[in-house]
Chains A and B, each alone.
With several copies, the nearest count.
Chain A
Amino acid sequence: MTVGLTRSEHGSYDLDELMIIEAARHIRNGDVVMVGTGLPMVATTLAMKTHAPELVAVIESGPIDPIIMQTPISVSDPRAMHEAARLGSLREVLGCVLQRGLVDIGFIGGAQIDQFGNINSTVIGDYRSPKVRLPGSGGANDIACHARRLLIIVSHEKRRFPLKCDYVTSPGYLNGPGARQRAGLKVLTPTITVVTNLVVMETDAETGLFCVTKLMPGVDLDAVYGNTGFRPGVASTLEEVAPPSDRDLETLREEVDPDGVYVKRGKSH
Chain B
Amino acid sequence: MGLREAVGRFVFDGAVVGLGGQNIGRCAMATVHEIIRQGKRDLTLVGCNLSISMDLLVGADLVRRCEGGSGNLERFGSTFCWRRKVQSGEIEMEDFSHLGMVSRFLAGEMGLPFMPTKSLLGSDILVHKAPSTVKKYEIIENPWNPGEAVVLLPALNPDVSIIHVQKSDSMGNVIIGGFTTHEPEMVRASRNTIVTCEEIIESRQIRSDPERTTLPHIYISAVVHQPWGAHPTSTYRYYDFDAEHLRFYQECARAGGEQVKAYLDRFVFGSESFQDYLEKVGGKERLLQLEKAMKRLCASKGENP
Contact = CB atoms under 8 A, between A and B. Distances in A.
A169 interface: yes
Nearest to B82: A133
B170 interface: no
Interface stretch (A179-187, A193-201, A211-219): A179-187
A78 B236 contact: yes
A89 B181 contact: yes
B22 A75 contact: yes
Among A32, A65, A98, find the residue whose CB has the most chain B CB atoms closer than 10 A: A65
Interface stretch (B35-43, B57-65, B182-190, B279-287): B182-190
Contacts of A74: 23-25, 74-75, 241
Contacts of A52: none
Contact of B121 (A82, A85, A171): A171
A123 B237 CA distance: 36
Contacts of A81: 178-179, 210, 236
Given A85-B213, A90-B181, A94-B102, A78 B125 contact: no
A88 B48 CA distance: 15
B97 A95 contact: no
Given A65-B216, A180-B122, A99 B117 contact: yes
Contacts of B148: 184
Nearest to B49: A138
Nearest to A95: B110
Contacts of A79: 297
Interface in A130-178: 130-142, 145-146, 167-171, 174
A78 B208 CA distance: 14
Contact of A145 (B49, B120, B149, B215): B120
Nearest to B179: A62
A129 B87 CA distance: 6
A167 B111 contact: no
Contact of B25 (A61, A82, A140): A61
A113 interface: no
A184 B180 CA distance: 30
Given A76-B22, A89-B184, A171 B122 contact: yes
Given A69-B301, A146-B111, A136 B68 contact: yes
B124 interface: yes
A74 B76 CA distance: 9
B95 A136 contact: yes
B106 interface: yes
- The interface residues of chain A, by DSSP majority, are classed as loop
Interface in B234-268: 234, 236-237, 240-241
Nearest to A64: B216
Contacts of B102: 89-91, 94-95
A77 B97 contact: no
Contact of A168 (B100, B123, B183, B189): B123
Given A76-B23, A95-B99, A185 B118 contact: yes
Given A77-B25, A137-B69, A145-B118, A83 B181 contact: no
B143 to A, nearest CB: 14
A4 B93 CA distance: 53
A83 B218 contact: no
B24 A145 contact: no
B89 A185 contact: no
Contacts of A53: none
Interface in B119-160: 119-125, 128, 131, 139, 148-151
Contacts of A145: 118-121
Contacts of B69: 136-139
Given A85-B213, A99-B112, A184-B148, A73 B74 contact: yes
A65 B217 contact: yes
Nearest to A88: B180
A133 to B, nearest CB: 4
A182 B122 CA distance: 8
7 contacts: A75-B49, A86-B173, A96-B109, A139-B99, A141-B99, A167-B124, A168-B122
Interface of A: 32, 37-38, 56, 59-65, 67, 69, 73-79, 81-91, 94-102, 122, 127-142, 145-146, 167-171, 174, 179-180, 182-186
Sorted nearest first, the 7 A-B pairs with minimum C-beta distance are A76-B25, A184-B149, A183-B122, A62-B179, A86-B216, A135-B72, A61-B179
